[in-house]
Amino acid sequence: TCSLLRSPKGFPKLKNDTFLRAARGEETEHTPVWCMRQAGRYLPEFRETRASQDFFATCRNPKLCCELTLQPLRRFPLDAAIIFSDILVVPQALGMEVVMVPGKGPTFTEPLKEVEDLLKLRQKVDVTAELGYVFQAITLTRHSLEGKVPLIGFSGAPWTLMSYMIEGGGSTTMAKAKSWLYRHPEASHRLLRLLADVIIDYLVGQVAAGAQALQLFESHAGHLGPELFQDFALPYIKDIAQAVKSKLKEAALPLVPMIIFAKDAHYALRDLAHAGYEVVGLDWTIRPQEARAQIGKDVTLQGNLDPCALYAPKEKIGELVKKMLESFGTQRYIANLGHGLYPDMNPEHVGAFVEAVHAHSRHINKH
């Protein structure tokens, strides 16, 4: 189904807009549900498709990205698709080399060590030249979905990308990256600004290519305290929402809903509620009622079942979902996990999660 590359014109009519309606705060018959990392290694067909390919080579192959994005939708009645890609394509667009090391994860061959290293980065990025393969994957997938569900595009947020670029990969403390914030605040802002500018163009390009919603991943927010977040993360998160919206307007492109997911940033929920996003994603460490109290009624919430709950027996998953829906309420809410699916999860349990959200939310809405 991912064979023909057509232009971003004349997309098929959308049949299930529940996810978009919930994101915009409109009423829905059932609570929509999708999963972070739903296109992933927990599916045997994903492992088969990816078997011979280098990870980032897969990201650069629009046909494969399309196939991997569609796989979970063939199995589960999810209410949205999210394009198969990676947040580290942005540092690659800035000229950094990232390789996927088996058993270790993404690794930068030459991380940023000194402030002078910023000069090695591309100061002006033509996103179509550097990231056009993502746009092609989005257009192809949007056609291949045949209007089944909306397609979500995404990017990493500046602080999260900066932390990878300095740490050179994952880290439990982010001490190298955080030391920049304390030792080199000006250079840190220069880097964050450069990233934000690329991300803005990248997200606008994704909408032009056919993305119907956008999620910004501030996955490393938990390493910052309230003050560092206020100085080095929040201003860029706000700016991205505002700039993307004004550029979409200028280009007469659809104003798509935007989701901010700042993992472990409980301390910033009030700020995130006013950051210009239609949806605030929550990780599993926060009580739904507390989040709703802090965020208010004008923003849709997304989340937040503990991904490890999917290791539970199916009946238990159903109970946990019911409790989650009762806590969040079924409206102005998009069900999801509090983070991504893990590779060793049983696809049947993912199916049980999705079906439980639909069944329980319909039941609650009726009564």
Whether the Cβ atoms of residue 132 and residue 85 lie closer than 8 Å to each other: no
Percent of the chain residues topping a pLDDT of 90: 96
User: Which one of 50, 60, 142, 292 is the catalytic residue?
Assistant: 50
Kindly report the CATH number that applies to the domain delimited by 30-304+333-346. 3.20.20.210
Locate 226 and state its tokens: 């309230």
pLDDT in tens, 28-81: 999 999 999 999 999 999 999 998 789 999 999 999 999 999 999 999 999 999
47 is catalytic: no
pLDDT in tens, 146-185: 999 999 999 999 999 999 999 999 999 999 999 999 999 9
Q: Which pLDDT score, from 0 to 100, does residue 47 have?
A: 95
User: Which one of 86, 117, 231, 306 is the catalytic residue?
Assistant: 86
- Helix 314-328 with 347-366: angle, nearest 10 deg: 40
* Edge-to-edge strand list for the sheet holding 213-218: 81-82, 151-156, 213-218, 258-262, 279-281, 300-305, 333-337
User: Which one of 17, 42, 142, 164 is the catalytic residue?
Assistant: 164
- Helix 158-167 with 175-183: angle, nearest 10 deg: 110
- The CA-based angle 295-31-244, given to 5 degrees, is 55
Please give the radius of gyration of the chain, using alpha carbons only, rounded to the nearest integer.
19
236 is catalytic: no
Strand-strand pairing, 98-101 and 105-108: antiparallel
User: Which one of 21, 37, 60, 292 is the catalytic residue?
Assistant: 37
Give yes or no for residue 351 having a pLDDT over 80.
Answer: yes
Q: Which pLDDT score, from 0 to 100, does residue 53 have?
A: 87
Give yes or no for residue 9 having a pLDDT over 90.
Answer: no
Domains of the chain, by residue range, sit at: 30-304+333-346
Question: Cβ contacts of residue 347 below 8 Å, gap of 6+?
Answer: 42, 43, 44, 75
Q: Which pLDDT score, from 0 to 100, does residue 301 have?
A: 98
- Split at pLDDT 50, 70, 90, the class of 102 is confident
Q: Give first-to-last CA distance, the chain, whole Å.
A: 40
- Split at pLDDT 50, 70, 90, the class of 6 is low
37 is catalytic: yes
Give yes or no for residue 7 having a pLDDT over 80.
Answer: no
Give yes or no for residue 4 having a pLDDT over 70.
Answer: no
